[in-house]
Amino acid sequence: MARNKEGLVLLLDVGPTMHRALQEVKNVCTTLLRKKLVFHRSDEVGVVLFGTKETHNDLARELGGYKHVLVKHDIKVVDEETKDALENLPRGTAPGDFLDAIVVGLDMLIKRFGDTKAKQRLCLITDAQHLLRDPPQGTKEDQVDTIADQMKKHDIKMDCIVFRESGVQHNSVMDENDRLLYHFRDRSVAKVVQVDTPTALLGALKTRNVLPVTIFRGDLEVSSTFKIKVWAYKKTSEEKFPTLKKYSDKAPPSDQFASHEVKVDYEYKSILEPDTVVPPDQRIKGYLYGPQVVPISSAEWEAVKFKPEKGVKLLGFADRSSIPRSYFMKDVNSFVPEPGNTKAIVAVSALARAMQEMNKVAILRCVWRQNQANVAFGVLTPNISSVNNVPDSFYFNILPFAEDIRDFPFRSFSSLPPSSQPTEEQQEAADNLVKMLDLAPPGREEILRPDFTPNPMLERFYSYLDLKSKQPDANPPPLDSCLRRITEPDPDVINYRAPLIQNLGKSFELKENPKATAADGQAKKPEDPYAEKARAIEVLFPSTEKVGKIGDVNPVKDFEAMLAERSSSIWVQKAIEEMKKYTTNLVQNSLQGDYYEKALECFVALRKACIIEQEPEEYNQFVTKLYERLKKVDDVVKFFQLLSSKNVLLICKEEAPDSDVTEEMARSFFMKTEISSE
Residues 262, 263, 268, 273, CA torsion sign: negative
CATH of 417-439+448-509, one of 2.60.120.10, 3.40.190.10, 1.10.1600.10, 3.40.50.150: 1.10.1600.10
Q: Rg of the Cα trace of the chain?
A: 31
CA distance 266 to 269: 10
CA distance 15 to 173: 15
Q: What average pLDDT score do residues 419-436 get?
A: 85
**Does residue 215 contact residue 233 with C-beta atoms inside 8 Å?**
yes
Find the helix or strand (DSSP H, E) in which 236 lies.
strand 226-236
Which residues does 55 contact at the CB level (< 8 Å), separation at least 6? 66, 67, 68, 69, 70
CA distance 530 to 474: 42
- Where is pLDDT greater, at 165 or 141? 141
How many Cβ atoms sit within 10 Å of the Cβ of residue 14? 26
CA distance 624 to 673: 11
Which one of 54-63, 540-549, 566-575, 648-657 scores highest in mean pLDDT? Answer: 54-63
Q: Where are the beta strands (DSSP E) in 82-185?
A: 119-126, 156-163
Confidence at residue 536, expressed as pLDDT on a 0 to 100 scale:
40
CA distance 277 to 281: 12
Confidence at residue 569, expressed as pLDDT on a 0 to 100 scale:
58
Query: Would you place residue 591 in the very low, low, confident or very high pLDDT band (cuts 50, 70, 90)?
Result: low
CA distance 507 to 489: 21
Confidence at residue 530, expressed as pLDDT on a 0 to 100 scale:
39
CATH of 6-204, one of 3.40.47.10, 3.40.50.410, 3.40.630.30, 2.40.50.140: 3.40.50.410
Residues 170, 175, 181, 183, CA torsion sign: positive
**CATH 1.25.40.240 fits domain 555-669:** yes
Query: Would you place residue 148 in the very low, low, confident or very high pLDDT band (cuts 50, 70, 90)?
Result: very high
Q: Is 523 helix (H, G, I), strand (E, B) or coil?
A: strand
**Digit-coded pLDDT (tens) for 610-619:** 888 888 899 9
**Digit-coded pLDDT (tens) for 237-284:** 888 888 777 888 887 877 777 777 888 888 888 888 888 898 988 888
* % of the chain residues with pLDDT over 70: 91
Confidence at residue 396, expressed as pLDDT on a 0 to 100 scale:
96
| 522 has pLDDT over 80 | no
| 548 has pLDDT over 70 | no
244-281 exposure pattern, b = at least 16 Cβ within 10 A, e = fewer: eeeeeeeeeeeeeeeeeeeeeeeeeeeeeeeeeeeeee
**Digit-coded pLDDT (tens) for 630-677:** 877 766 777 888 888 888 889 988 888 888 888 888 877 766 544 444
**Does residue 68 contact residue 55 with C-beta atoms inside 8 Å?**
yes
| Helix axis angle, 571-588 to 596-612, nearest 10° | 160
**Digit-coded pLDDT (tens) for 88-128:** 889 999 988 999 999 999 999 999 988 777 789 999 999 99
Confidence at residue 197, expressed as pLDDT on a 0 to 100 scale:
82
| 228 has pLDDT over 50 | yes
Query: Would you place residue 515 in the very low, low, confident or very high pLDDT band (cuts 50, 70, 90)?
Result: low
Lowest average pLDDT, out of 141-150, 177-186, 253-262, goes to 253-262
Confidence at residue 322, expressed as pLDDT on a 0 to 100 scale:
93
Q: What average pLDDT score do residues 489-510 get?
A: 77
Lowest average pLDDT, out of 128-142, 359-373, 545-559, goes to 545-559
In 3D space, the residue among 314, 313, 331, 309 whose CA is nearest the CA of residue 215 turns out to be 331
Confidence at residue 220, expressed as pLDDT on a 0 to 100 scale:
94
Q: What average pLDDT score do residues 163-190 get?
A: 88
| CATH level 2 (architecture), domain 213-243+260-404 | Beta Barrel (2.40)
Query: Would you place residue 517 in the very low, low, confident or very high pLDDT band (cuts 50, 70, 90)?
Result: very low
Confidence at residue 58, expressed as pLDDT on a 0 to 100 scale:
92
In 3D space, the residue among 387, 392, 39 whose CA is nearest the CA of residue 206 turns out to be 39
Return the domain boundaries, the chain. Answer: 6-204, 213-243+260-404, 417-439+448-509, 555-669
Query: Would you place residue 476 in the very low, low, confident or very high pLDDT band (cuts 50, 70, 90)?
Result: confident
Length of the chain: 678
Lowest average pLDDT, out of 87-96, 296-305, 482-491, goes to 482-491
Do strands 190-195 and 156-163 pair parallel, antiparallel, or not at all (unpaired)? parallel
- Please give the DSSP secondary-structure letter assigned to residue 20: G
**Digit-coded pLDDT (tens) for 66-90:** 999 999 999 999 888 888 888 888 9
Confidence at residue 521, expressed as pLDDT on a 0 to 100 scale:
47
Q: What average pLDDT score do residues 19-28 get?
A: 89
Bridge-partner residues for 376, per DSSP? 366
Average pLDDT across the chain, whole number = 84
CA distance 134 to 140: 7
How many Cβ atoms sit within 10 Å of the Cβ of residue 18? 24
Which residues does 573 contact at the CB level (< 8 Å), separation at least 6? none
Q: What is the largest CA-CA distance in the chain?
A: 96
**Digit-coded pLDDT (tens) for 304-323:** 888 888 999 999 999 999 99
Answer whether 6-204 and 555-669 agree in fold.
no
CA distance 219 to 221: 6
CA distance 125 to 162: 6
CA distance 75 to 114: 13
- Residue 643 burial (10 A CB sphere; 0-12, 13-18, 19+): buried
Question: How many CA atoms does the CB half-sphere of 512 hold within 13 Å?
Answer: 12
**Does residue 333 contact residue 395 with C-beta atoms inside 8 Å?**
yes
CA distance 200 to 304: 50
Q: Provide the H-helix boundaries in 289-374.
A: 298-304, 342-358
**Digit-coded pLDDT (tens) for 566-582:** 656 577 888 888 899 98
Confidence at residue 393, expressed as pLDDT on a 0 to 100 scale:
95
Q: Is the pTM of this model over 0.75?
A: no
In 3D space, the residue among 364, 381, 393 whose CA is nearest the CA of residue 232 turns out to be 393
Q: For the chain, what percentages of helix, strand and coil (3-state, to nearest 5) are there? A: 40, 20, 40
| 512 has pLDDT over 70 | no
Q: Provide the H-helix boundaries in 386-528.
A: 424-436, 456-470, 481-487, 491-496, 498-507
Query: Would you place residue 453 in the very low, low, confident or very high pLDDT band (cuts 50, 70, 90)?
Result: confident
- Where is pLDDT greater, at 501 or 49? 49
CA distance 488 to 479: 11
